[in-house]
A = this chain, B = another copy of it.
Amino acid sequence: MNLKKLSKILGLSQTTVSRALNGYPEVSEATRKKVQEVALAHHYIPNMRAKSLATGRSMAIGHVIPGSTRREIVNPVFADFISGAGEVYAQNDHDMLLSIVADSDEERTYRQLSAKASVDGVIVHGPRENDPRITLLKELGLPFVVHGRAGDNHGDYSWVDVNNRRSFERATEFLFDLGHRKIALINGLEFMDFAQRRKGGYLAAHRKHGRTPDPELMISEEMTEDVGYRRALDMLNRAAAPSAFLVSSMITAIGVRRAISDAGKKMGRDISVVIHDDELSYLPNGVDIPIFTATKSSVRQAGRLCAQMLLDIIREKDLTPRHILLESELTVGESTGAFQK
């Protein structure tokens, strides 16, 4: 079923039918009603290919995921984020276009996306410090929102981010308050913006408490379980072993947890783990292990906010940058009352 046939059936012109369906005011309520009925009865759904061409809008948003090299993104966070964004798109009748792309073709991908006109805007994932993609997107005039930030000495642009710095500062202080003195930081790769900010918070807390952090206790690597396990085990077997861990990802924390158990330590007041990601949908939250989460802003919510912001930008045709900084809450697993201050 298409417009032509439908208008024939109704004995009206394509124009009128189109107007009736798209809520234009100049059509009489009587005909509008009639048109809507018949359209529904015949399962009429406008062909997007034609609609896009005519309106110049694709009603689709692109998500470009750096593929092979950095695995940061083929991780659970991604699934939750996408799922939140997808929710918003569904409500607003938009599609989501996903490009998994080798780091080397990223530039080409964006240029293509823009020239092919298959999306109205893009979400940028996993920004690095001084990310070249941002300059490129501005140059292309393609609306975009960044999940996270890409350093500060960059021109302004729209982003949604968690207050990583403050979140880790408070988590560190929390551990200090519990009596911990040697706190390990298991962080993500250094060129990731969030890793820098988290480290900043960790260091700030140390300064504030007049303590110098042990460089051996700070590592920046890929956020896999394996890394968490090995590095935590190494640290626990040192003379100056840490009594607490600050971990940048739930996945890594699983490895850390296992290391603690293998090292024969018991998690408790003496060994604590504070992680960052929370509310990932397939991992336990609040089960009976002493894990603290440093944020309460879920990844899924970030996905929703990014999507909504981008849709607003496109609708209002206003490219002036907007920002959302999600403040975090320090939450403690339910069975860990003993660790509350």
Please list the residues of chain A having a beta carbon within 8 angstroms of any beta carbon in chain B. 1, 43, 45-50, 52-53, 58, 60, 65, 67, 71, 74-76, 78-80, 82-83, 86-87, 90, 95-102, 105, 111-112, 115-118, 223-226, 229, 251, 254-255, 257-258, 261-262, 281-284, 287, 289
In-complex Cβ contact of A76 among B76, B87, B117 (8 A): B76
Minimum-distance CB pairs A-B, first 5: A86-B100, A45-B115, A226-B284, A48-B116, A49-B52
In-complex Cβ contact of A100 among B82, B112, B117 (8 A): B82
Known: A83-B100, A86-B100, A97-B96. A75 touches B282 (CB 8 A): yes
Known: A71-B281, A96-B97, A281-B74. A48 touches B225 (CB 8 A): no
Q: Are B112 and A45 in contact (CB under 8 A)?
A: yes
User: In whole angstroms, how far apart are the Cα atoms of A74 and B281 in the complex?
Assistant: 7
Q: Which residues does chain B contribute within 8 Å of A76, judged by CB atoms?
A: 75-76, 79, 282
Q: How far is the CB of A149 from chain B (nearest CB, A)?
A: 23
Q: How far is the CB of A290 from chain B (nearest CB, A)?
A: 13
Q: Which residue of B lies closest to A102 (CB)?
A: B90
Q: Which residues does chain B contribute within 8 Å of A95, judged by CB atoms?
A: 97, 99, 118
Q: Which residues does chain B contribute within 8 Å of A96, judged by CB atoms?
A: 97-100
Q: Are B224 and A284 in contact (CB under 8 A)?
A: yes
